[in-house]
Every structure is written in C-alpha cells, then in structure tokens.
Chain A
Amino acid sequence: MICYSCNEAVKDPVCVGCSALQPPGLALDPFVLLGVPRRFHLDGAAIDEGYRAMAKRVHPDKFTARPAVERRMSLQWTASLNEARRVLKDPDKRARLLATGQAEPREKGGPKLDPAFLAEIFEWREQDEESPGALSDLARVREGELRAELDAIFTAWESGAGDLTLVEDRLARLKYVTGLVREQVQ
C-alpha cells in the first residue's frame, strides 16, 4: 500500500513517514487486526495484548489534532478493532469465522439441522416425561461432546490434517443443545 497522504510505502495502519492514518479497508480481518495466528486455539492474553497494541495506534484520542478524514478513519479502525476482539474472544464465533469466513450464522437460525439429530432430541423429550430432568442431563452431556468434537476438528486442522466442513453444523447443534439446557434450567 502507498500512504494516501505522503506517497510513502506503508505496511502499518499509521504511515511511518508522515504519521497519517491509513484507510482501514484491507486490514479488517480480526486475526490480522489483532496480530494473532489464524487458529482456533488462541491465548486470551495474546488477544488482549494485540488489542492494546493496536488500540494505542488507531484510537480517536491519538488523532484529535489530525485532519477530519483521519479522525473519521480512526473511529472506523477502532470500531473494527473492538468488534474483532469481541469475535475472537468468543470460541463459537471464532470457530465459525475460521470455517465460514463470518462470525455470525449466514442465515438466521443457522443451517438446517440433521433430521436424525432432531429425532434424537425428540426421544430425549419423551424420556424426560418419564424421568424429569433427563432432557437437561442428556443435553449437557451432548454439549460437552460437541465441544470436544470441535476441539478435535480444529486440533487436526491446525496440524495440517482434516478440514472444517462439519464445523458449521456442529455449531448449530451446539447452539440448539445449549438452548435446551438454558430452557430446562428456567
């Protein structure tokens, strides 16, 4: 990239030559923004560290004496940075982002759930009628299993094996069973 202000080559959000803030266009990827590796298994402290380092460079308070165009860009940078941290701190959003390129489900309510999975839940409900509490216990167990499965998928992927095709479906199932647990608690 070339600095829009002094034409010097820039790699950073802020031009080394003339300290003009650059447009945030290319750096909106949360992993790039926070300077952390593109992995599921991330250190929370590393995310915070990357966040603080970048915030110090792009926050509006650092640009109060700069031209209006830079003040506006600084607002966009920092808003993106705050969003990036929110996404990467949430394991489910982080997983979805790696698998689909988006932190939020593509369609409202997520992808269609497997009929076999729904049939199983139906069975759980029947069991719950006979012995109350069974549904919430079963859902809790399944929640743990799904998390372990996602963990395994990403561990394999991070070491160069396997792919992420199942992730979106597993996240949808996870959302469903955590919903069940919450519903039963209430």
Chain B
Amino acid sequence: MANIGIDLGTTNSLVAVVMSGKARCLLDETASPLLPSAVRYDDGGVVVGRDARDQAAAHPERTFTSVKRFMGRAPADCVADAALFRYTMDETEERFVRFAVPGRAPVTPVEVSAEVLKVLRARAIECLFGEPGGAVITVPAYFDDAQRQATKDAARIAGLEVLRLLNEPTAAAIAYGLDKREHGVFAVYDLGGGTFDVSILELNDGIFQVLATAGDTHLGGDDFDRALGEHVLAKAGLDRRDDADHRELLLAVEAAKRRLSDADEATVTVGGATVTVTRADFDAIIRPTVERTGAACRQALADAKLTADKIDAIVLVGGSTRVPLVRTYVGALFGRAPYTDLDPDQVVALGAAMQADILTGSSQLSDDLLLLDVIPLSLGLEVMGGVVEKFIPRCSTIPFSASQSFTTHVDNQTALDLHIVQGDRELARDNRSLGRFTLRGLPLLPAGIPRIRVEFLVDADGILTVNAKEEHTGVEARIEVKPSYGLSDDEIERMLEDSIDNAETDVDVRLLIEARVEADGILTAVQKALGIDAGLLVPGEKEVIDAVVNALVLALPGDDRKRIADLAHKLDEVTAPFAQRRIERDLTLALSGRDAGEVGKQLGLKDSVARGTLDHVPGEKH
C-alpha cells in the first residue's frame, strides 16, 4: 500500500504519490492535477471540484469555496470573512463555525474539507488500484493547534489515516532539496489563494530544519482578485453587486489576473461594460497587498537570526507566485532570483508525497532524510491578571515537552483551572484560546502544599496534549479538555457515522488486517522465546501453549477477526507467567554483578526477532 501526499489548499487541492522513486501528482479524467477546493450541497448529493466552482454563481447559497480560511477558527473571528464570501453563519453555535445550507443541516468547514479529501482519496484508489496506506497532509506553517486539529479531523471523516501533518513550505523544500541534493539555507515564499507564509529552512547533513516561520493566514490571491474587482467596478461606473454577480465578477477578474502573468493587458467584461487593465495598472492595484508579505519575511529572517544575504535559495509556492510583480518583489527582497523550476501549484503535494514515501520506512528516496519542524506560535498559560506565561517559546523544534508546577490557593481545594493560549501577545485575551483544562481529583491538603506537575507535550504534528500529576501523592489529576473552538470527539464520531464512505465492510477489512498483524507478532515472539528458553517452562505449560499456538496458526488465514483476536489474547494470557519468569531471570542475572553485555552473551542471544510482543510486563497493554 503506497502512502500518499495531499496538499489541502484554499483554492485547489492535489494528491501525489511516489512511483518508481519519483513523485508525481495524480490526475483527474481531464488530465488535471488540481481539484478546486469547492463543494456544493445539492438535494441529490455533494458535488466537489471544478463543476462546483464554475457553477458557484448559479448556486451561491449552497456552494463553499476557500473554507480553509475557516478551519479551526472561532465563529466570532470569522464574521468578516463569512460576509466576504457571502456565507450565512449559524450564529447559535459559539464553539465552531457552521454554515447554513438551504434544505439540509448546516455544515462545518471540517465536513466541507472532508468532502474534498474524499474525492482525492477516491482518485488515489483509482490510480493505485487500491486503498492508499497513510497520508501526509500539508498545512500552512502558521496554522495553530486548533487549525491543525481541524485538518486532522477532516481527514478522519474522509477515512484517511494521517501519518503526519507537514508544513507546506517544508514540503516545498523537500521537493526542491531532494531533487537537487542541495545543502544550505532556503527561504520558502508561499502565496496561495488565501494564505501567505514564509519559512526559513536549513538543510544540513540530511536533516531539514525549519529555523523560523511567519505569515498571514488572511493574505493571498483572493485579495488580488478582490482589489482588481473593485478597480473594474469603479472603472465601469458600477455599484456594489449582488451575490451572483459578485461571484461572476470574481471569476472574470481571476481569469484576467492569470492572463496578465503573460500578457501586457487584459479585458474584463462586467455588467455590459468592458474594462481594459494593463500590467502596470494591475501592479499598482496589488502592490499594497504584495508589500504586506515583506513584513513577515523580515520577521522570519530576524527569528532565524539571519540576514537576507545568508539565504542560499528561494523557493516559490502557490499559484499567486506566478504573478510577475510577486517574483520581482521577492527577488528584490532577498537579493536573488527565486527558483521556478517546479510548478508552484504542485510543489507542495510533490514534497508531501516524498515525505509520505520516506515514512513507509522502505523508501528508495533517502533513508537518511529527517525533517525537523518548529511550532509557529508560543504556547502559554493565563496566570494572575490575565497575563500569559509562555511555557513553549515560538519556533521551538517539535516534538517538545515542558512542565510547570502549580499549587492550590485554599485548603482542601480539589480542582484547578488552567487556560492555555497560543500566540505571542502579552495578554491572554489578545492570543488564541486553545482550551480550558480542569484538573480534578486533587488530594485534600492545606493550601500551598500540593505540587501539581502539569506536562505539556507538542507532538511531531504540532498538536498539544496535557498530563497532570500531584507530586507528593502521585495522584493523577483528571483532565477535562474543553477545546475553546473546534469539534469535540463526539461530534467527530457522529460525522464519521454520517459519512457514507466509511461503509462497515471497509472498517471490517481494516480490523481484520490489524488483528492478523497483531496475532502474527505475538506468535513470532512466543515461538522465538520457546526456542531459547524452553527450560523455563513448568510441567504441563508447553502443552497448553502449543494448543493455543496451533489453533491460532489455523485461524490466521481465515477471516474470522474475533476468533483471531481472541486466540491472540488467549496466547498472551497463557504465556504471561512464562514471560514473567524470563524477565525475573534476566533481572537476577543483571543484578548479580555482571554487566549487561555478559548477560546477553551468556543467554546466547545473537539473532533477533523482528518484533517482540511477548516480553512485556504482564497486565500492560500493547
């Protein structure tokens, strides 16, 4: 099963895979790699892609584009954006964004994105003649925890197993760096439809490391279209348009924008009037937007403690970097011409496919490559007075863990509230609220005595988990997580159930394979251990173990998942005392003064098993 790379974009999405050592994007029936990230909810079903995008003007109230802008965001923060796209937000919901759709239940941006992902998954199944293994999905480097989580949720609903969320600029650097075997420092300038980010990466000794990243989640080619649209309306002497006309206008100016990348002038026809726009007009119109990207570039350089002349290469990502003014501006900013060899629309998906291939562990590309990413925004806790105390600074390499100790303020206090925020502003209310955590079940002690150690772990996807323990008593505090914004697990479960693509048979097949792999692992380990340490068996034990082994060997090729799982469990059970004796014997040997090397030699352990699941402490799950 090949792993796939997915670029889930604001405007377009792509899926790519490594075949015969080379990454390529999978094409649709019209030979295009781009799937417009547009979804229309009809009475009969869901339409995704070009048709949904092109017919948006005819069905404005049931078509959704650019939903990436709304992923994992607070409804209160989305009002302006929703108005921009003429979406009707469900105002009764405070925790996550939900759009009204005539004649059906409202939809969340996560569900809309899941529809796009389902189409990409189907394309992969068709091209690969089978279910893809796992997926690497790209996200803007600047995405915060909630936005990353929302992306993972969408993949889950679409029936995809996410191997890794990968920062888009990092994916682009992989595509370029691997192709060219370059060592050095890259700047990746990614101007897409709706998001902008810039990252400074270092490739050294087979390791890509993101040194710094900065950006603006609300800046992109859509802004060029809007600015050009306003200009055209003013020139044509027309007033503010209604919804359908507005969409039509945006489509017309977008086409004109594309032509202006090659031609010196283009015409836009709107409301019966034809307006001619020259390249110089267009440059003047979009210059303020383009210049807004400069601040983030300087910020990223400062964070990386570098000057522009230390950058060895600049990689362009995103369709909007085809605009000549953008290329000139970037060239002037960094003092060198950017790379343009790879298609800026495809480069992220290609890099994601390469990373997905590397994660199979049997890649032809480069076993030695390792990707080290950073967290884009600081994580902190709200303390007295609404001030933020940062516990993980911005641009820390992930995974990352940090811990803080807390105590109680009143006698016999049994619960403690923590408010976690992401951002770099001093006051909690100016940052993004990630969640409120309540630690419960604290021991009854006088104020100030308990020491509650809270551990924060940011995993390799940039997603945070929290653990807490009272240090004197060892009591694990229960944590109730209330994501400030975003979907709860129950809501995801419900969407999963609603998802027709997750037919029960699919799930059954997956579970059967998992059961077989698990059982096979246990079987191998048991047989291996019996071969080495038969002397540790007590009378009668071997017969019992053999009976279970034989039954399992017979059941393994069949498709009775429950029987395989039951027998594997049974085998684990009947061999537990034997495993325990082996561990005790080894400990005795190790503690009797000889060093580990000698113990190993004495045990005659030379060869190895691929995977041992027997030698666990009884009672521990694996």
Contacts and interface: CB of A to CB of B under 8 A. Distances in A.
Interface size on B, as a range, is 35 or more
Interface string A1-33: 110111111110001011010000000000000
B610 interface: yes
A68 B207 CA distance: 24
B370 A59 contact: yes
B359 A75 contact: no
Interface size on A, as a range, is 35 or more
A151 B401 CA distance: 30
A126 to B, nearest CB: 32
Interface string B395-424: 011111110000000000000000000000
Given A9-B597, A75-B460, A52 B612 contact: no
A20 B616 CA distance: 13
A163 interface: no
A68 B622 contact: yes
A55 B370 contact: yes
A83 interface: yes
B397 A82 contact: yes
B526 to A, nearest CB: 13
Interface in B541-594: 582, 586, 590
A79 B399 contact: yes
B611 A7 contact: no
B400 A79 contact: yes
Interface in A34-86: 48-49, 52, 55-56, 59-62, 64-69, 75-76, 78-80, 82-83, 85-86
B457 A75 contact: yes
B610 A18 contact: yes
A60 to B, nearest CB: 5
Nearest to B398: A82
Interface stretch (B145-153, B227-235, B598-606): B598-606
A18 B457 contact: no
B249 to A, nearest CB: 46
A60 B398 CA distance: 10
B605 A6 contact: yes
Interface in B46-64: none
Contact of B611 (A5, A49, A60, A86): A5
A-B interface, 9 closest residue pairs, ranked by CB to CB distance from nearest: A9-B600, A17-B608, A79-B401, A18-B608, A5-B612, A9-B596, A79-B399, A60-B460, A65-B361
10 contacts: A4-B616, A8-B608, A17-B607, A17-B608, A18-B612, A52-B204, A56-B207, A56-B368, A60-B459, A62-B370
Interface of B: 134, 163-164, 204-207, 358-361, 368, 370-372, 396-402, 457, 459-460, 521, 582, 586, 590, 596-597, 599-601, 603, 605-613, 615-616, 622
Interface of A: 1-2, 4-11, 15, 17-18, 20, 48-49, 52, 55-56, 59-62, 64-69, 75-76, 78-80, 82-83, 85-86
Given A6-B609, A7-B603, A80-B401, 18 more contacts: A2-B596, A5-B611, A5-B615, A6-B612, A8-B608, A9-B600, A15-B608, A17-B607, A56-B370, A59-B370, A59-B372, A61-B358, A62-B361, A67-B613, A67-B622, A68-B622, A75-B460, A86-B396
